[in-house]
Amino acid sequence: MQIDIRIIIGIIVLISLFWIFSITGGILVDPDLMIIEKENFKNRLSEVELVKNIGQVESAIEIAVNLNVETNFDFTLPKCFNETEAKLRIIERNDYCSVICGGKMSQCTILQFSSKTPSFSTITCLAIPLTTSFSEDYSNCNQLPNAVDLKSSNGIKPGQYTVIKNIETTEYSPKLCAYKQNTTISS
């Protein structure tokens, strides 16, 4: 009886795999893949932290506009994001609003975050009137130092902010004042 060498090698490979599976608990480990997976895991944790931070920005703006309550928020970027390549912006949209915000909306105001390193983006609907305006130029906004325009093309930079509805506002056309505190918190 003649046994083909390929069958013997196949049996040895199967026995080796069985032995490796029994030692590693059923997981074959490639050290290079572990490094990549560890980086991906860190990036995913940072993305979760960032989405939570953006949710706090969203809540603060909605509370200030809709409930007329002065509200504070910290916007921080997790360490893996590069501040010069990451941007959180308030944008008015005329498309995809029903997808982003739900319902049958044709216009909406959103918070949009985008980053090149690591590559990540997310969009959140702001539940505020479409007529809401953001500026540091309102007469009452300038009474406090560090007034900022949250809707600036530069986006919302990391830092601590206070947002409040301007007293000159109407129910139908709210004006939001924002003030950036001098210190920033990095995580």
**Structure-model confidence comparison of residues 36 and 123, the more confident one:** 123
Mean pLDDT value of segment 155-178: 82
Percent of residues, the chain, with pLDDT higher than 70: 74
Q: Which two tokens stand for residue 95?
A: 């498309």
Please write the tens of the pLDDT for every residue from 110-129: 999 999 888 899 999 999 98
**Structure-model confidence comparison of residues 156 and 104, the more confident one:** 156
- Of 53, 79, 63, 75, give the one whose Cα is nearest residue 148: 75
Q: Who's near 95: CB < 8 A, 6+ residues apart?
A: none
DSSP-derived secondary structure for 60-121: HHHHHHHH---EEEEE---TTS-TTTEEEEEEEESSSHHHHH-TT-S-EEEEEEEETTTTEE
Mean pLDDT value of segment 42-58: 90
Q: What pLDDT does residue 187 have?
A: 44
- What's the pTM value of the predicted model, to 2 decimals? 0.73
For the chain, the domains span 30-86+131-180
In angstroms, the CA 174 to CA 172 distance is 6
